[in-house]
Amino acid sequence: MILRMSSLFVRTLRDDPADAEVPSHRLLVRAGYIRRTAPGIYTWLPLGLRVYRKIEAIVREEMDAIGAQELQFPALLPREPYEATDRWTEYGDTLFRLQDRKGADYLLGPTHEELFTLVVKDLYSSYKDLPVWLYQIQTKYRDEARPRAGLMRGREFVMKDSYSFDIDDAGLQRSYEAHRAAYIRIFDRLGFDYVIVEATSGAMGGSRSEEFLARLDVGEDTFVVSPGGYAANVEAVTTPVPDPVPFDDVPAAHAEDTPDTPTIATLVDHLNTAFPREDRPWQASDTLKNVLMVLHHPDGTTEPLAIGLPGDREVDAKRLHAQLEPAEVEPMTDEQLAKFPALVKGYIGPAHDGRTVLGEESESGIRYLVDPRVVEGTRWVTGANVAGKHVLDLVYGRDFVADGTIEAAEVRAGDPSPDGSGPMEIARGVEMGHVFQLGRKYAEALGLQVLDENGKLVTVTMGSYGVGVSRAVAVTAEYNHDESGLRWPRAVAPADVHVVAAGKDAEILAAAERAVEEMSALGLDVLFDDRTGKVSPGVKFKDAELIGVPTIVVVGKGVATGVAEIKDRVTGEREEVALGDLAARVRAVVDA
């Protein structure tokens, strides 16, 4: 096949698009692969579509190879199935909702658990029909709060989503493993540097879940790894819970004046000057910081929440959100705080002096959750609920209790891994795939039951498995570029070879044309820069580097002596080849 630059629907750009934050976005736009249509919504141009389809084909091959069957649902879906699982509401602002001319509610599918569950319910009724694995490669819609980085986080994007249906837990386990193994093959074939990490199951419900994260600093996900092999999304990291500590010797809690201590650091300095400890200096982790939030539930209601955590740690917004979703969380404003007279800004503590200030049963009535490190017997310095005063020796389990614990504190490099496999390292990545054991949540909500061996109706157990196919185009570009442009791996490149006719002589153009015809006859996909007129060889070389086909052939001045040059886009290595051998040599290079 021959794509001629003289007529190909492409225009390369010399300048970076103003809104591009990451190299893949910048280069895919500049090299003429995609165009922005609206925020987070992109058009595939011919070159982009070719890469996209190759990546899609890899995903499809590996799904077919495990015996999953492809079908395709509409993207425009009725409200009712999503109402039955509560996701019509729970998805909040992320769901694109619309109405037809009769006023009936519809949505643009963000993910399709409901529809797959219903189609299996529609057609299957016996344990003999199971297991069954179904998938689609389909456009999804999510009104993301922050679409970014081009294809990386779109509001319209393509996902491969599969669903497994089993009669029992052992079956689900096998289905999960098969999908996990297929994902390993997909991301190996794409050449990604990825880690498989434990994940939270979030709004999806269900139990076991892992993410495939492509290691990239531009990623929005943070994950941890330990030397002993623990790997988790930071959202899923659990804090090892310390043993309770004896507190018989701890004096009664006492409030002290702590003037001019607006920050934890100033408070610690003051404590070390005014109330020095005998065993060691005070440190930030001796203080208990109480942070006030407001939860916005999908049904429109709001709820205040207080979180107590050691003063040396910040609240991690993503960890907090993962714990509380589908609710959205915001810091409590001063105005909202003023509605709780028991709370004194800057000096908020759970209890002191016979008063209980935080907790469902307290003066404020605000639900109070603490970091898992706050265990029985731990003693804290915290606000005394009086301006200018903190309370010392406030003991958990003696002087105050919480309504529960929450994993909201930041995870730091060097923190112990929850499975005891050593200190954790922290890195960033892009979520490329997600495998979930959903269990029976959707089957129960939508009544998917089949008859078992004894003729008894049982609820089916499900798994759900996603790959970001359009995102994979961006991630491939992210891994494969340099300052001059893209450098596609052969498996996904828009063409096998990019032939540049470098010069205006009829002889050069004729020689290039011949070579291109021969290459095409050998089954190669050729991108042929046959442009004449004002397009100089320099411009053609720049475009070839930018477009990033892995093999570049230059047919130029060498024609006079019967040679052309083959250049490797990645290594920059050049090879001179006789024109008569050119097509065969390129075929060999491509097959190598």
Name which of 151 and 288 has its Cβ closer to ligand ATP: 151
Which run of H or of E encompasses 498? strand 497-501
- CB nearer to ligand ATP: pick between 222 and 470: 470
CB of 263 to Mg ion, least distance (A): 36
H/E stretch holding 355 reads strand 355-356
- How many angstroms separate the CA atoms of 395 and 152, rounded? 47
Contact 427, 328 (CB under 8 A): no
Closest to Mg ion by CB, 220 vs 256, is: 220
**Interacting partner of 111 out of ligand ATP, Mg ion, none (Cβ under 5 to 8 A depending on kind):** ligand ATP
Q: Which does 500 bind (CB under 5 to 8 A by kind): Mg ion, ligand ATP, none?
A: none
Give 221 or 407: the residue with its C-beta nearer to Mg ion. Answer: 221
Binding partner of residue 91 among Mg ion, ligand ATP, none, CB under 5 to 8 Å per kind? none
Nearest of 497, 524, 499, 496 to residue 513 by alpha carbon: 499
Q: Which is nearer to ligand ATP, 159 or 391 (CB)?
A: 159
371 binds, among ligand ATP, Mg ion, none (CB under 5 to 8 A by kind): none
C-alpha 320/C-alpha 301 separation (Å) is 19
Per CB under 5 A, 140 contacts Mg ion: no
352 vs 434, which CB is nearer to Mg ion? Answer: 434
Q: Which residue is nearest to ligand ATP (CB)?
A: 468
To the nearest whole angstrom, how small is the minimum distance from the Cβ of residue 361 to ligand ATP?
36
The minimum distance between CB 207 and ligand ATP, in angstroms, equals 15
Task: Decide: is 434 part of the binding site for Mg ion (CB under 5 A).
Answer: yes
159 interacts with, out of ligand ATP, Mg ion, none, CB within 5 to 8 A per kind: ligand ATP
CB 494 within 8 A of CB 488: yes
Residues making contact with ligand ATP (CB under 6 A): 111, 142, 144, 153-154, 157, 159, 431-434, 466, 468, 470-471
Cβ 508 vs Cβ 501: under 8 Å: yes
- The answer to whether 68 and 133 are in contact (CB under 8 A) is yes
Kindly tell me which of 407 and 545 has the beta carbon lying closer to Mg ion. 407
DSSP, collapsed to helix, strand or coil, labels residue 25 as helix
Minimum distance from residue 159 beta carbon to Mg ion (Å): 10
Q: How far is the CB of 93 from Mg ion (least distance, A)?
A: 18
Separation between Cα atoms, residue 511 and residue 563, nearest integer Å: 10
CA distance 394 to 377: 9
Hey, how many other C-beta atoms are within 10 angstroms of the C-beta on 301? 9
Half-sphere exposure of 548 (CA within 13 A, CB side): 31
> E strands along 207-325, which residues?
209-215, 221-225, 231-233, 254-257, 288-296, 302-310
What ranges in 95-217 are assigned the alpha helix state H? 113-123, 169-189
Nearer to ligand ATP, 217 or 257 (CB): 217
Q: How far is the CB of 546 from ligand ATP (least distance, A)?
A: 24
The CA distance from 396 to 384, in Å, is 15
Q: Give the three-state DSSP class for 371.
A: coil
Nearest residue to the partner Mg ion, using Cβ: 434
Strand partners, 436: 209, 464
Select from ligand ATP, Mg ion, none the partner in contact with residue 432, using the beta carbon and a kind-dependent cut-off of 5 to 8 Å.
Answer: ligand ATP
Q: How far is CA 489 from CA 68, 109, 159, 479, 549, in A?
A: 27, 32, 21, 10, 8
Give whichever of 200 and 290 is closer to ligand ATP, judged by the CB atom: 200
The distance of closest approach from Cβ of residue 188 to Mg ion in the complex, given in angstroms and rounded to an integer, is 20
Residue 258: contacted member of Mg ion, ligand ATP, none (CB under 5 to 8 Å, by partner type): none
Name the minimum Å distance from CB 466 to ligand ATP: 3
Please choose, out of 297-305, 355-363, 433-441, 471-479, the segment that lies near Mg ion by the rule CB under 5 A: 433-441
144 binds, among Mg ion, ligand ATP, none (CB under 5 to 8 A by kind): ligand ATP
- Report the C-alpha gap between 214 and 223 in whole angstroms: 11
Q: Which is nearer to ligand ATP, 26 or 531 (CB)?
A: 26
Q: Tokens in use for 555?
A: 């047919």
Rounded to whole angstroms, what are the CA distances from 282 to 150, 244, 253, 274? 48, 21, 16, 11
Distances (CA, A) of 538 to 33, 501, 558: 21, 11, 16
In the bound state with ligand ATP, the residue whose beta carbon lies nearer, of 426 and 458, is: 426
Q: Which is nearer to Mg ion, 138 or 261 (CB)?
A: 138
Q: What angle do CA 18, 24, 25 make, to 5 degrees?
A: 30
Q: How far is the CB of 172 from Mg ion (least distance, A)?
A: 18
CB of 168 to Mg ion, least distance (A): 25
For the bound state, the minimum distance from the C-beta of residue 203 to Mg ion, rounded and expressed in Å, comes to 10
- Partner residues linked to 231 by β-bridges: 225
Residue 559 Cβ, how far from ligand ATP at the closest point, in Å? 46
Asked if 313 touches Mg ion (CB under 5 A), the answer is: no
The helix/strand/coil state of 129 is: helix
Residue 142 makes contact with Mg ion by CB under 5 A: no
433 binds, among Mg ion, ligand ATP, none (CB under 5 to 8 A by kind): ligand ATP
Beta bridge partners of 215: 429
What is the binding site for Mg ion (CB under 5 A)?
434
